Structure 1
Amino acid sequence: MIRLAVRVRRKDADVVLAELLTLAPSGVEEADLEGGAIVEYAVYGAPGELPDLPDVEAAVGGALVEVRTTEVADDWADRWRQFHRPIEVGGRLYVRPPWEPARDELMDLVIDPGQAFGTGAHHTTRLCLELLVEEPLAGDAGARGVMDLGCGSGVLAIAAAKLGWSPVAGVDHELESVRATAENAAANGVEVATDRFDLIRGGAAPTAPLVLANLLRPLLLCVARAGWAGEPPRTLIASGLLVHEADEVAAAFARHGLAEADRRTSAEWAALLLRRPA
Structure 2
Amino acid sequence: MIRLAVRCQPEQAELVLAELTVLAPGGVEEVAGDGYVEYAIYGAEGELPDLGEEEAVTIAGGTVEVEATEVADDWADRWRSFHKPLLVGDPKSGPAVWIRPPWEPEREDLAEVVVDPGQAFGTGAHPTTRLCIEALIEIAGRGGPFGALSDLGCGSGVLAIAAGKLGWQPLEGCDHEVAAVAAARENAEVNGVEAKFERIDLKAGLPRLAPTTVANLTAPLLEAVAAGLAPDNLPETLICSGLLTSEYDRVRAAFEPHGLVETGRGAMGDWGSLTFARELA
Query: TM class, shorter-chain normalised?
Result: 0.7 to 0.9
Change (3 A) 1:47 1:173: farther
User: What is the aligned partner in structure 1 of residue 24 from structure 2?
Assistant: none
User: What is the aligned partner in structure 1 of residue 42 from structure 2?
Assistant: 44
Q: Report the Cα distance in structure 2 between the residues aligned to 1:48 and 1:222, rounded to whole angstroms.
A: 40
Q: What is the aligned-residue RMSD (CA, Å)?
A: 2.5
Q: How does 1:1-278 map to 2 (within 5 A)?
A: 1-8=1-8, 10=9, 13-14=10-11, 16-25=12-21, 26-32=27-33, 36=34, 38-47=36-45, 50=48, 57-64=57-64, 66-90=65-89, 91=91, 92-136=96-140, 138=144, 144-200=147-203, 202-227=204-229, 230-278=232-280
Counterpart residue identity of residue 93, structure 1: V
Counterpart residue identity of residue 68, structure 2: T
Displacement of 1:135 after TM fit? 1.3
Displacement of 1:205 after TM fit? 4.5
Deviations 1:30-87 (A, max 9, x none): 343xxx3554332233456546759x944344433x3222222212112212222112
Counterpart residue identity of residue 133, structure 2: L
Q: Report the Cα distance in structure 2 between the residues aligned to 1:231 and 1:259, rounded to whole angstroms.
A: 16
Counterpart residue identity of residue 3, structure 1: R
Local SS of the residue matching 1:186 = helix
Q: Report the Cα distance in structure 1 between the residues aligned to 2:231 and 2:199, rounded to whole angstroms.
A: 15
Q: Give 5+ residue unaligned stretches, structure 1.
A: none
Displacement of 1:89 after TM fit? 2.0
Change (3 A) 1:37 1:236: closer
Q: Report the Cα distance in structure 1 between the residues aligned to 2:32 and 2:148, rounded to whole angstroms.
A: 35
Is 156-165 or 73-82 further displaced after alignment? Answer: 73-82
CA contact (8 A) 1:116 1:176 kept: no
Displacement of 1:182 after TM fit? 0.7
CA contact (8 A) 2:111 2:162 kept: no
Q: Give 5+ residue unaligned stretches, structure 2.
A: 22-26
Displacement of 1:17 after TM fit? 1.4
- TM norm structure 2: 0.85
What fraction of aligned residue pairs are identical, expressed as a percent? 52
Local SS of the residue matching 2:258 = coil
Q: Report the Cα distance in structure 2 between the residues aligned to 1:220 and 1:49, rounded to whole angstroms.
A: 36
Q: Report the Cα distance in structure 2 between the residues aligned to 1:206 and 1:53, rounded to whole angstroms.
A: 44
Q: Report the Cα distance in structure 1 between the residues aligned to 2:125 and 2:39, rounded to whole angstroms.
A: 16
CA contact (8 A) 2:208 2:233 kept: no
Deviations 1:183-239 (A, max 9, x none): 111111110101001223x22354111111111222212212233595211111111
Q: Report the Cα distance in structure 2 between the residues aligned to 1:120 and 1:74, rounded to whole angstroms.
A: 28
Higher helix share: 1
CA contact (8 A) 2:248 2:274 kept: yes
Counterpart residue identity of residue 17, structure 2: L
Aligned residues: 265
Deviations 1:84-131 (A, max 9, x none): 211222222211111110123212211111123211122111111111
Displacement of 1:244 after TM fit? 0.9
Local SS of the residue matching 1:43 = strand
Change (3 A) 1:258 1:47: farther
